Amino acid sequence: MSLKQTLTEDMKAAMKARESGKKRLSVIRMVLSSLKNAEIDKKAELSEDEVIEVLSREVKKRKDALEEYERAGRQDIADGLRDEINILMNYLPEQMSEEEIRRLVREVIDEVKPSGPRDMGKVMGKLMPVVKGKADGKLVNLIVKELIG
């Protein structure tokens, strides 16, 4: 079953659960809406990788907003965003651990042999297709900076 079909089935289950699934239902509806918008923009059905990309983008939006709300001291909104992130993470592939990312970055650095921080783009260019959807881009970027610099 594709990820999009899984989301649709989970939306139906959340609708049947009535009150207990309200938060989950709204998050799934929002994701399905984002997927539909992406399909309209592309004028074609999304592949599984593209669905994961849209989900990752939605998680990233929430993580960025979460940081802002926490800085502003709005814990009520931050808690709601954490719940939404947790719901969305269930649909993404298992995330790579920091150790796995570090190992992968070292392998790419050995392969690319960057001369310094200016070659960070070359390393990131090789890494991102491999870790797409499986690791947070900010974390990958920080590890690359740390290991190159």
| Domain end marker among 71, 89, 107 | 89
Residues 75 and 17 in one domain: yes
CATH number at residue 142: 1.10.10.410
Considering the entire predicted model, what is its pTM? Answer: 0.78
For the chain, how many structural domains are there in total? 2
Q: Please state, rounded to an integer, the average pLDDT across all residues of the chain.
A: 88
Residues 30 and 79 in one domain: yes
pLDDT, tens digit (0-9, with 9 covering 90-100), for 26-40: 999 999 999 999 999
Torsion of CA 118, 122, 128, 131, to 10 degrees: -100
Contact 87, 24 (CB under 8 A): yes
Which residue range is the domain that position 38 belongs to?
Answer: 3-89
| Domain end marker among 53, 69, 89 | 89
pLDDT, tens digit (0-9, with 9 covering 90-100), for 79-125: 999 999 999 999 988 888 888 889 998 888 888 888 878 888 888 88
Contact 89, 136 (CB under 8 A): no
